[in-house]
Amino acid sequence: MLLHLSTWQEVEDYLTRSTGIILPIGSTEQHGPTGLIGTDAICAEAIAKGVGESTNAIVAPTINVGMALHHLAFPGSMSLRPSTMILVIRDYVASLARAGFRKFFFINGHGGNVATLKAAFSETYDYLSDLGIAHNVQCVVSNWYMAGSVYKLAKELYGDEEGSHATPSEVALTQYVYPEAIKTVPFTEPAGKGYRIYGAIDFRDRYPDGRMGSNPALATPEHGKQFYELAVKEISTSYLEFLAAG
């Protein structure tokens, strides 16, 4: 059940059965020479829809722009500042909490969002307390790429060439979701790896084509289907456990 394709009466009826909601969140940033700029949001959205169907949960509109300041030296990348993103998350959750939602399950596709999301949850609890609606509101984040079964398959398929950005696993998933948008280029240089992340200019200097130790040329749509099915199965279980917990 997709929130944006529902009526308010349908949402009101849903709330008589469940106070849980799934919120996909990703990023709009460069993903190397063959990765789509929307990769992180595409992956989170696809998996969130699958989990929603599997668990009969409602799925909120995808938050497509995340915290990606370090990618801004690459054209097409977009970012929220951490302070802005905290307010976005706070207002999303507060709006839905006013209606009666209490269990907020974020499915995340971008590692750069994690620290800001955790800070946003703390800010949100405090804000809701001031509004008098903090009771039983709970927020958690599930990073699809860190699901045990997904991580294991990525290592089996790609080994050290999985890397940590513009990875073959995430590129494979986008190839499965959007086969018409598959990109191919020859890779003539190894990907940069091992450098700390500082500002955007420094990032591009050290990772000139945008990859971080990864070889996305290994990705296939067939691999993407495997990652999708594993992620949906494992995260569906996590979501139901979250609902059942106090």
Of the pLDDT bands very low, low, confident and very high (cuts 50, 70, 90), residue 72 is very high
Q: Is the pLDDT of residue 131 over 90?
A: no
pLDDT of residue 188: 85
Q: What is the dihedral of CA 236, 142, 88, 169, to 10 degrees?
A: -100
Domain boundary assignment for the chain: 3-244
Q: Is the pLDDT of residue 125 over 90?
A: yes
Architecture category of domain 3-244 in CATH: 3-Layer(aba) Sandwich (3.40)
pLDDT of residue 75: 98
The whole-angstrom separation of Cα 241 and Cα 243 is: 5
Please say whether the beta carbons of 25 and 108 come within 8 A: yes
How is 200-240 classified by DSSP, letter by letter? HHHHHHHSTTS-BS--GGG--HHHHHHHHHHHHHHHHHHHH
The whole-angstrom separation of Cα 153 and Cα 227 is: 8
C-alpha 20, offset from chain centre: 18
Neighbouring-strand partners of residue 28 = 78
Of the pLDDT bands very low, low, confident and very high (cuts 50, 70, 90), residue 34 is very high
Q: Is the pLDDT of residue 135 over 80?
A: no
The whole-angstrom separation of Cα 217 and Cα 120 is: 36
pTM of the model: 0.96
Residues in the chain: 246
H or E segment at 106?
strand 103-108
Q: Is the pLDDT of residue 132 over 90?
A: no
Neighbouring-strand partners of residue 142 = 107
Q: How many CA atoms lie within 13 A of 224 on its CB side?
A: 23
- In the numeric block, the tokens 């009526």 are attached to 7
Mean pLDDT, range 101-123, rounded to an integer: 98
